[in-house]
A and B are shown apart, each in its own frame.
Chain A
Amino acid sequence: MIWLTWRQLRGSAAMMAAVLVILAVALALTGPDLASDYTAGIAACAQDDTCGRFYDRFFGAYDLPFMAVSLVVLLLPALVGLFWGAPLITRELEAGTHLLVWNQSITRGRWLAIKLGLTGLVAMAAAGVCGLAVTWWSDPLDKSAPAGLALMSPLVFSARGIAPMGYAAFAFVLGVTVGMLVRRTLPAMALTLAVFVAIQLAMPLLVRPHLMPPVTSTFELSAVNVDGFGINRDRGGYVEVRLSDAVPGHGGAWVLSSKLVDSSGRPATSPEPGVGIVQVSTTSGPCSPAGQQGMSACPTEVNRLGYRQQATYQPLERFWPFQWIETGIYALLTLGLTWLSFWWIRRRLS
């Protein structure tokens, strides 16, 4: 049975292997250079404290390959579910070959176990190799990525570490189960894709923020967490602070919410999201454009008045715990669907 499963899989497995080898070779050739560029750049910028600019320049130079390899890791599980999972049973049902193979001297439970086991393991291995290779390669870029593409941010998190392995296993078994229920390849593929995408969206939006209680803390305003200061002339004029999704001292963190609070801890937010309001004179003093130094002293003044960024975030140190927990969740979902598929093939499918 293992032979038959492999015989049916080997074509697409070879294609998958070819793609992975090309990717691995490309990553292996460019990875060491990328890492040494990064080390040299950090050594240089540490001397004159211009590392912020170095990060931007370094990341800017490689943002396309960064996006491309991340996309490969994100897409791989979906493709596995679509092209390996969904047709695994429907192809047999459509051609009638299930009648041939279920009447050899092997129970259909065992048949399914070997098909699921072997194909699933190959899929997981492919996603695992791909995910870990990309994690290794993009390490310098992940360290210099802007806040929105930080390691903990939803999209990048899903394209690193061991989680892709969990996604692939889940997508595969999802495809198989949907295929058994729907019995037609194309509708099964469409439904698998829809369900998988929905779950992949629900996970970072609804579940992942709560895997561990997020940290809430207040930070002084600085170049890290402020995108810009501005003056709004309405209602006698006030200073607007545009906050970024980053917290000082916790690079790579996933900022869930960020708002401006005043010295007594009350929120000082404007209706516009991510913007805080500071009640300070804009006609005289450090925050008036007419002052001696223009606006340059304004941030210091705002900090002196006790305005702070209050942020809720998941710090970067939780990357690996989160990876394990999330992989575990997908493993449980996979087991649940596997149980369903066995139940269905014994009781309902004919």
Chain B
Amino acid sequence: MTSVLEAQALGRKYGKRWALRECTIDIPAGHVVGLVGPNGAGKTTLLKLACGQLEPSAGGVTVLGGRPAGTPAQLARVGFVAQDTPVYAGLTVADHLRLGARLNPRWDEAMARERIAQLGLAPAQRAGKLSGGQRAQLALTLGLAKRPELLILDEPVASLDPLARREFMQHLMEATVEHQFSVVLSSHLVSDLERVCDFLIVLVDSRVQVAGEVDRLLATHHRLTGPRRDPDRLPADQHVISASHTDRQSTYVVRTDTPIHDPAWTVTQLSLEDLVLAYMDKRTADNRRAALEVQR
């Protein structure tokens, strides 16, 4: 199967600041991809590059084998739900469906109507009067009824309350099961993605830290706890992601493809959240070290 998103040394800068740099990833089709990272890490930039909203400053990106937003046909294959799920405040719910029907060749009218009915939205209601959750659902409906091969969602649930979050995610998952399309969605909270994603990209400080299938990531990352030991004395195939030490004890999060047999270590399984936090922590630790070196 082809890749849904392939980036080669992709970079984008605003003025002199790089919002995203040296991003090389290859996402195979058929996944629900979670893009996590702290605020300002470059998640929105990466997603906007993928949907053709932004032009790259460096490198290149292909989505479903084509240039993002290059042609109407390419636009028809990719759906995008932007951050804060914007809708036209002055237009009614029915107007939005009509907009979708007029602007998309593969529009699924029956699905759109069914979803709106299911959500209990009144077609005559102005979108400006909808609650945050309802607005997000309307934007999702537009994205889904377009029948894309890839749906990109940028922090779709960030401004929603927990109940609306769960409902939104549930609807999204039902649709992916029913219509078989790939999804890329971003969040700064792992808990939003944990239950739905089978592929994860961790983006910190405008760089991709790690990307891969969730099962594989969990299988290759371990937390080691044992007597204090310097990182230099770990086997060469164990990449340290994060480390913390007390006087007598060391705790490492490492990535390795081989099983760990050293009896000195207590090996524990990581949760997805621990894994992401380890990468965020690593980045900040690196920065701290760099800053200290500069000061010296």
Contact call A105/B75, Cβ cutoff below 8 A: yes
Interface size class on chain B is 35 or more
Of residues 76 through 103 on chain B, the ones whose CB sits less than 8 Å from some CB of chain A are 76, 78-80, 82-84, 86-91, 95, 98-100, 102-103
- A residues 315-329 touching B (CB-CB < 8 Å): none
Are A100 and B86 neighbours in the complex by a CB distance under 8 Å? Answer: yes
Per-position 1/0 for A93-124, Cβ under 8 A of B: 00111011111111110100000000000000
Whole-angstrom CA separation of A106 from B104 in the bound complex: 8
Residues of B within 8 A of A95 (CB): 86, 88-89
Which of chain A's residues have a CB closer than 8 A to the CB of B105?
105
- Are A105 and B99 within 8 A (Cβ)? no
Q: Is A305 an interface residue (CB 8 A)?
A: no
Report if B160 contacts A (CB, 8 A).
no
List of B residues within 8 angstroms of A3 by Cβ: 98-99, 102
Assess the B69–A107 pair: CB atoms within 8 A.
yes
Contact, CB under 8 Å: B53 / A99: yes
Residues of the A chain whose Cβ atoms lie less than 8 Å from the Cβ of B73? 105
List residues 229-244 of chain A with CB under 8 A from any CB of chain B: none
- Minimal Cβ-Cβ distance residue in A for B74: A105
> Is the Cβ of A1 less than 8 Å from the Cβ of B103?
yes
Docked Cα-Cα span, A1 to B51, in Å, equals 20
Query: How big is the A interface, by class?
Result: 20 to 34
B22 at the interface (CB under 8 A from A): no
Pick from A7, A106, A347, A350: contact of B53, CB below 8 A: A350
Query: Which residues of B24-71 are within 8 A (CB) of A?
Result: 48, 51, 53-55, 69, 71
- Say how far B148's CB is from chain A's closest CB, in angstroms: 9
Contact A350 B55 (CB under 8 A): yes
Give the chain A neighbours of B106 by CB distance below 8 A.
105
* B184 located at the interface, meaning its Cβ lies under 8 Å from any Cβ of chain A in the complex: no
CA gap between A8 and B95 in the complex, in Å: 11
Q: Chain B nearest CB: distance from A70 CB in Å?
A: 34
* Interface assignment of A4: CB less than 8 Å from any CB of chain B: yes
Interface residues of A (CB under 8 A from B): 1, 3-4, 7-8, 95-97, 99-108, 110, 347, 350
Q: Would you list the 10 A-B pairs with minimal beta carbon distance, nearest first?
A: A96-B86, A104-B103, A99-B82, A105-B76, A103-B80, A105-B104, A105-B75, A350-B54, A97-B86, A105-B72
- 20 examples of A-B residue contacts, CB within 8 angstroms: A1-B102, A4-B103, A7-B95, A8-B91, A96-B83, A101-B103, A102-B53, A102-B69, A103-B75, A104-B75, A105-B72, A105-B75, A105-B76, A105-B103, A105-B104, A105-B106, A107-B72, A108-B69, A350-B48, A350-B54
